[in-house]
Amino acid sequence: MRKKRFSTASNLVAAILFFFLCSNLQAQYENGSLVGTIHDSSGATLSGASITITNNATGITAKATSNTSGDYEVPSLRVGVYTISAKSPGFSDAVANNITISVGVRERIDLSLQVGSTQTTVEVSDVALQIETETSQRGQTITQYQSAAFPLVSRNYSDLLGLVTGSRQAPTAATTSSISSLVRAGAYNINGQRSMFNNFLLDGMDNNAYGESNQGFDNQIIAIPPDSVAQFQIVTNNESAEYGRSSGATINVASASGTNRFHATVYEFIRNTDLNAAGYFKPTLVGTSGNVVPFKKPTFNRNQFGVNFGGPILKDKLFYFVDYEGFRQVLKPLSVNTVPTTNELNGKLVVDVQNPITGVVYPKGTVIPAAAINPVSQQIIGFFKQIPTQGTGLSTSGLAQDNYATQVPFTDNSDKGDLRLDYQQNPSSSWFLRVSDRKETGVNHPIFPLPLDGQTNGTIRVLDQQIALGYTHLIGANKVVDARLGLSRTKAGKYSLSIGDNAISIPGLPSDPTVAGGLPSTSINGGFTSFGRQSTNPQWQNPALIDPKVNFTWIKGHHSLKFGYEYEHIWMAVNDNNPLYGSFSYSGGFSLCPSSTVNGVKVPTNPNGQSCADIKGAVADNYWADFLFGTTNNYSLANLFVAHLRQTLQSVYAQDDWKVDPKLTLNLGLRWEYGSPYSEQHNYISNFDPITQTVLTITPGAVAGNGITPVSPGGTYGKTLVNPDLNDFAPRLGFAYAATPRTSIRGGYGTSYVHYTRAGSGDILAINAPQAQFVSVTQKTPSTTNHCPVGGASASCYVTTDQGFPTGIATTFNPATDNITYVPKNTRDSYVQSYFLSVQQELAKNTLLDIAYVGNHGSKLQGFLNANQKNPSNGFARPYGNWPSDITAALNEFYSHYDALQVRYEQRFVAGLTLLNSFTWSHSLDNASASLEGNSPSPQDANNISADYGQSDYNLPISNVTSLVYDLPFGHGRHFLNTANGVTDTLLGGWQISAINTMQAGTAYNIGYSPNSANAVSPQIAATYRGANEYRPNVVAGQPAIKKTKLSNGFIQYINLAAYTLPETKDGNGNLVSPFGNASRNPGRSPAFYQTDVALNKTFNTPLESLRVQFRAESYNLFNHTNFYIPGSGLSGTLSTAATSTAPASLNNPTSGGQITSTFEPRIFQFGLKILY
C-alpha cells in the first residue's frame, strides 16, 4: 500500500514539476492570436518592419517583426480591443485601430506603409468580424457585449450555446411547466452528439463537471455570471489538436479581468408569480370517483442579484476583478395524488379479500380487524390519517383517484463569487490567478407528512470550488510558453428529509445515521401514489481534479508550430448504491380470492368453506389489502458503500498551421490521449468474466466461491480489471483558402475520443459485488405454509413486511438476487469522426455569410443492456446459463451518424446592430442515447441492438435561431439627437433592444409498454441506466401515429392509441412468446417549438459622468406561444391474447398513455436594474 501511494504521489509531483520547469511549450488556450502581412505602397512585402500591439484597456503591449515574406504573428493575446501599429525606416507608420481579438481565433490584419511620408496612416479601424482565412476550425464567438445584453431566462451564459448552428438543448435539461426541482444547466447537444461529449474550458483550464451522476446539476464546475464573461467561443467542428478530452463542442471561456480604469456593476433581477402567464394547461382534474381538483397557478418567485468591480492595483501592471451573485427562488407546483380513503384506512374494502398467510377471508363491506393488519402497515395507516382527503372510492375498485392535492414547495438558494488577479511582470512574462466558489442548496419539501414523504429529493447540496493559475512567457519575438495549473472540487448530493426520522422501525434496515430514517420506497399497484423514501436517496458524488498543462508556440517561417502536454488526475468519492433504505412493492394481488377452472369456466374455490367470490381480477382494494396484510411481491435493498474512484488522463499534441502561400493555409495536427479506466483507492474493483461466468475481483478479503473469484493480476488491468486503450490517436486535418479577399473556402476532418460518460453506477466497477450489492427479491406466492418463521426471515421463504429484510441479504452475496455490473475487459474508447466543408463570404465590413455541410460518425459509443437477458428465440434461456440473474453491461458497441446543412449570417456593430442568424437542416441517427440524458439509453432487445438504429433523441431536422442586440440610434453618442438637451436625451436616448427568436422542430419521443412478468426478459433490472429493456408495442398498419385530441381535462391525447397494440404473453398453445413489439425506436416528435425572448433596456445618464443606471424589462416567450413538451411514452392497457382452439385472438389497443400534460415555460416577465460605473 505504501509503495502504491508513493507511486501515485511521484506521478503527481512529476506532472507539477513538468508544469513549472518546462520552458519550450505553449498554445492559445482562451487567448487569441494575430497574423498579418506588411506591404509597401506597391504591394510588395516588407521584411523587418516593427509591429506593436497595444491592449486599449490595460496598456499592455506586445511586439513582433515581419519576416522575409513580410508576415508576422503574435500567438498569444488576451481577449480585448487592440491598436496595431507598424513602422519601418524610410516609411510612414501605419495603424489599425479598435481591432477585436477573440477567444481562440486567428485574426488577420494586413498593413501597408507609404514610402517617405511622415504622416501616420490609419489603414484599418473597428474590425470586429472577418472571414476566416487562417484556420479551418469551425466555431462561433459570443462577445461580452452580447452575453450582457441578451435576455437570459436563467442568467447562465451557457444558455447562449443555443444560438449556434447545429445546437439544441438536451431534452432532459428543458424547463417545463411541470418543473419542481433543479435541472441540469449547460446541457446542449451539438451536431447530434451527447451533451457530456462537450468540453468546457474556463481560462484555459478543464471546467467539466466529473460527477458520475446528476448531483452537480451542471455540465461545468464554475458558471461565472454573464457580466463576468469577457468572451467565449463554441468550437463545433475540426478543433485544433490542442483541444481534446471529448468529441462535441469545446466551449472556451475567458473570464473578465481588471483594466486601467475602475469599473463596477451592481444589479438585481426579479421575477414574480403575478407577472407570469399561467400557461396552456389549466386543468380542472376530475378523478374516476368524481373528485374535483381545480387548477392552481404554480408559485414562482425569484430574486437574482450581484455585483462586480475591477480596476488597477498598479497601472499597466497589476489588475483585479471581483464578482458575487446571489440567487433566491421559491417554487410551489401543484401536486395531485391518490391516497387511501377513510374506508381503506379502516380496512373496509369493496371486494372480498383473503389473507394468503392465514387463509382467512374478509367479506367486502366489513372491517378487517386491527389484529389482522400487519403491524408496520398499521403504523403507516396512522400517518395517512393525518392527510385531509376528499371523496369516497369507486364501488368497483375502492380507489378515490386524485383525492389529495397540495402545492409542494421547492426552495433554491445559491451564492457564488470569483476573484481574478492579472500581473504583467515584465514585457515578456505575465501571470493570472482566479479563485472561484459556488454554494447551492435546494430543498424539495415532502408531499406527505414524514415519514410518508412522497419519494422527494429532500435537500440538494452543491459546493463547487476552483483555483486557476496561469503563466505566459515570451522567448524572443517568435516563441511563447504558456503554463497552467487548475485545482477543482465538487461536493454534491441529495439527502432525504426522512433521514433521522425513526418513527417506524423495520428489521434489517441500515442503522448508519447518514442513511437511516423514514420508510423504504413503497409502491402499491392499482393507482395509489407511491410514498416513503426516494429509492436513490441519499446519493452523492464528490469529484476533485488537478490539471497541470503546458504548451509551446514557435513561429518559424511559414509555420506556426504548437506542442503541448496535459495531465489530469481525478479523485471522486461516490455513493450511488441503491435502494440504501430498501423498497417494497405491493403489486402481486395476493389477496384476490382463489379460483379454479372447471369446464373452461373460472369459479371460486371458497377456501375452508369461506365465501370469497370476487375472482375476476385484482383491483385497487386487492393491492391495498396486500399492503394491509404486509404481503409484498418484491423487496429490494442495497448496502452502504462509498467508492473512492481514481482516473488519470494524459494527452500530448502537435499542431502545424502552415501558410503554404498567401491564399492557402493548412492546419495539420495530431493528438494522442489516454484515459485510464477507473481504479479504486482501496482496490474495491470487480468485473464479470463471461468465460468463467463468475465475478472476478481484486477486493481485499474477498472469498472464493458462490460466484466470486478473487484474482491478483498486474499492470493497469490489475488495478481496474479493464485493459487500457493506448490507441487513441486523433488526427486533425484542415485547410483555409482565401479564394478572393472577401471569400474563404474551408474544410476539415478530425477524430476525437471520449473519456467521460456520466452514466450513473452502470459502468462503475467499484460499485459491484461483492463489496457493493443491489439485491432485488421477487417473492413466491404467499401461502399458509411458506411464511418465514419469527426471527427466521430469508430469501427461501415468504417474508412479510413486519419481518423486514432478511439478515445479511445485502452483505452476503447471492448471485440469484444481485444485479452485478459488467464492462468487457477489452473495451475501446468511444470516438467520433467529424468533417465539414464551408464557404464564407464577406458581405460588408463586419458582416459575413457562412454556408457549410457538416457531418460526423460516432463509433463504439456507450450504451447499457442486460448481458444475461433471457432470449425469447431460445426458450427464454439466458446466454450465461451458469449465472442465474441479470447482468448490467456497459457496452461500447453503439453508433451514430449526423449530416447537416448549416447557414450562418452574422454582423457586429453595423449601424448599432449586432445580429446572428443560425439555420440548421439536419438528420441525426443512432441506436442509443446517453444514460441519464435521453429517452432511450438502452435497447428493446439486448440481442438485437441494430434494430434500435433510428431517429436520435437529439435529432433536430430544422432549426432557425435569430439573435440581435440593437442600440437605437437616438440620444447622446448616437446618430440622431446627438446634441439633444437633457430632457430629450432622458426620454429618447440610451435605448437598447435585444432578442432571441427560436423556431425549431419538436423533440423526438419513444413509446413503450410493460409486458407481463411471465415473459419479461430482465426481471431484476428496472432502470434504463442499468440496462432495463425498453419494450415497444406493435404497429397497426394504416393508422396515423399522432392524434392531437384535446381531452375533457384539458390535456392533449397526442399519440393515437389505435395505432398500436400491446403484444400478447402466450401463443395459442400456452407457450410464452417474445414481448418485443415491431414499433421503431423514437417513432415521432412533439409539435414544433416557437419562442421569442426580448429585453428592452434603457440606460440613464447621471450628473456623475461615469455613473449610469440601466433599467431592463425582459420577457421570455413574449407572445406566450404554447410549446408542448413530449407526450408520456408509457402505454398501458390489457395485453393482447393469441387465438386458441376455443377463442379468437384479441389484439388490444392500449387504453391510456401518450398524453401531453406539460409545456415548455409560458410567458415570463423579469425586471432588472443595473448601476454601471
pTM of structure: 0.90
Between CA 646 and CA 611 the distance in angstroms is 64
Please tell me the chain's helix, strand, coil percentages from 3-state DSSP, rounded to the nearest 5: 10, 45, 45
The pLDDT of residue 389 is above 90: no
Instruction: Give whichever of 64-68, 320-324, 771-775, 932-936 has the largest mean pLDDT.
Output: 320-324
DSSP state, 288? T
% of the chain surpassing 90 pLDDT: 67
The pLDDT of residue 289 is above 50: yes
The pLDDT of residue 199 is above 90: yes
Instruction: Give whichever of 6-15, 394-403, 831-840 has the largest mean pLDDT.
Output: 831-840
Instruction: Let me know the angle formed at the C-alpha of 767 by 766 and 770, rounded to the nearest 5 degrees.
Output: 90
How sure is the predictor about 13, in pLDDT bands with cuts at 50, 70 and 90? very low
Average pLDDT of span 283-300: 80
559, part of any domain: no
The pLDDT of residue 608 is above 60: yes
**171 and 260 share one domain:** yes
pLDDT digits (tens, 9 = 90+) for 1019-1066: 889 889 899 999 999 999 999 999 999 988 888 999 999 999 999 999
Q: Which of 119, 123, 120, 121 is nearest to 108 (CA)?
A: 123
- Which parts of 1001-1121 are beta strand (E)? 1004-1005, 1008-1009, 1034-1035, 1042-1046, 1052-1055, 1060-1061, 1084-1085, 1089-1101, 1108-1116
pLDDT digits (tens, 9 = 90+) for 1136-1172: 999 888 888 899 999 999 999 889 999 999 999 999 9
Q: Which of 109, 106, 137, 139 is nearest to 124 (CA)?
A: 109
At residue 687, the pLDDT reads: 97
DSSP state, 969? S
Between CA 760 and CA 1068 the distance in angstroms is 42
**142 and 258 share one domain:** yes
Max CA separation in the chain (angstroms): 122
The pLDDT of residue 246 is above 90: no
Q: Are 1031 and 1060 in contact (CB under 8 A)?
A: no
% of the chain surpassing 70 pLDDT: 97
88, part of any domain: yes
How sure is the predictor about 793, in pLDDT bands with cuts at 50, 70 and 90? confident
**90 and 42 share one domain:** yes
The pLDDT of residue 287 is above 80: no
DSSP state, 205? E
Determine which of 165-169, 237-241, 455-459, 465-469 has the lowest per-residue pLDDT on average.
Answer: 237-241
pLDDT digits (tens, 9 = 90+) for 106-134: 888 888 888 876 566 666 677 778 889 88
Sequential DSSP letters for 696-745:
EE--TT--SBTTEEE----HHHHHHSS-----EEEEEEEEEEEEETTEEE
| Domain hosting residue 62, numbered range | 31-127
**67 and 45 share one domain:** yes
- Which parts of 315-392 are beta strand (E)? 318-332, 334-337, 353-354, 361-362
Of 202, 231, 264, the residue that ends a domain is 264
Between CA 453 and CA 124 the distance in angstroms is 67
**119 and 152 share one domain:** no
207, part of any domain: yes
The pLDDT of residue 3 is above 50: no
Between CA 115 and CA 220 the distance in angstroms is 54
55, part of any domain: yes
pLDDT digits (tens, 9 = 90+) for 1103-1121: 888 899 999 999 999 999 9
At residue 822, the pLDDT reads: 97
pLDDT digits (tens, 9 = 90+) for 553-603: 998 888 999 999 999 999 999 999 889 999 999 999 999 998 887 776 778
Average pLDDT of span 442-458: 95
362, part of any domain: no
**Count of positions (residues) in the chain:** 1173
pLDDT digits (tens, 9 = 90+) for 712-765: 999 999 999 999 999 999 999 999 999 999 999 999 999 999 999 888 889 999
The pLDDT of residue 1 is above 60: no
Between CA 517 and CA 997 the distance in angstroms is 49
Residue 1013, CA atoms < 13 Å, CB-side half-sphere? 11
240, part of any domain: yes
Please state the domain count of the chain.
Answer: 2
284: its cell numbers: 380542472
808: its cell numbers: 445479511
Of 73, 95, 127, the residue that ends a domain is 127
At residue 67, the pLDDT reads: 87
**233 and 174 share one domain:** yes
How sure is the predictor about 8, in pLDDT bands with cuts at 50, 70 and 90? very low
Between CA 220 and CA 208 the distance in angstroms is 4
pLDDT digits (tens, 9 = 90+) for 480-505: 899 999 999 999 999 999 999 999 99
At residue 89, the pLDDT reads: 83
How sure is the predictor about 18, in pLDDT bands with cuts at 50, 70 and 90? very low
At residue 11, the pLDDT reads: 47
The pLDDT of residue 12 is above 80: no
Sequential DSSP letters for 576-623:
--S-TT-EEEE-S-TTSPPEEEETTEEEE--GGG------S---HHHH
761, part of any domain: no
**64 and 113 share one domain:** yes
**73 and 155 share one domain:** no
At residue 1165, the pLDDT reads: 93
Residue 171, CA atoms < 13 Å, CB-side half-sphere? 29
pLDDT digits (tens, 9 = 90+) for 53-72: 889 888 888 888 888 888 88
**CATH code of the domain covering residue 241:** 2.170.130.10
Between CA 232 and CA 186 the distance in angstroms is 14
> pLDDT: is 1102 or 544 the higher one?
544
How many other CB atoms are found less than 10 A from the CB of residue 1141?
6
**91 and 146 share one domain:** no
Determine which of 281-290, 452-461, 552-561, 566-575 has the lowest per-residue pLDDT on average.
Answer: 281-290
331, part of any domain: no
Taking the CA atoms of residue 748, residue 749, residue 755 and residue 756 in that order, the dihedral angle to the nearest 10 degrees is 60
**178 and 103 share one domain:** no
Q: Are 610 and 360 in contact (CB under 8 A)?
A: yes
pLDDT digits (tens, 9 = 90+) for 646-669: 999 999 999 999 999 989 999 999
Determine which of 528-532, 816-820, 854-858, 1150-1154 has the lowest per-residue pLDDT on average.
Answer: 816-820
At residue 7, the pLDDT reads: 43
How sure is the predictor about 408, in pLDDT bands with cuts at 50, 70 and 90? very high
Of 92, 127, 162, the residue that ends a domain is 127
At residue 215, the pLDDT reads: 58
**123 and 192 share one domain:** no
Place of cell 376528499: 390
1129: its cell numbers: 411514452
Return mean pLDDT, the chain.
90
How sure is the predictor about 961, in pLDDT bands with cuts at 50, 70 and 90? very high
**CATH code of the domain covering residue 106:** 2.60.40.10
The pLDDT of residue 531 is above 60: yes
At residue 117, the pLDDT reads: 62
**80 and 179 share one domain:** no
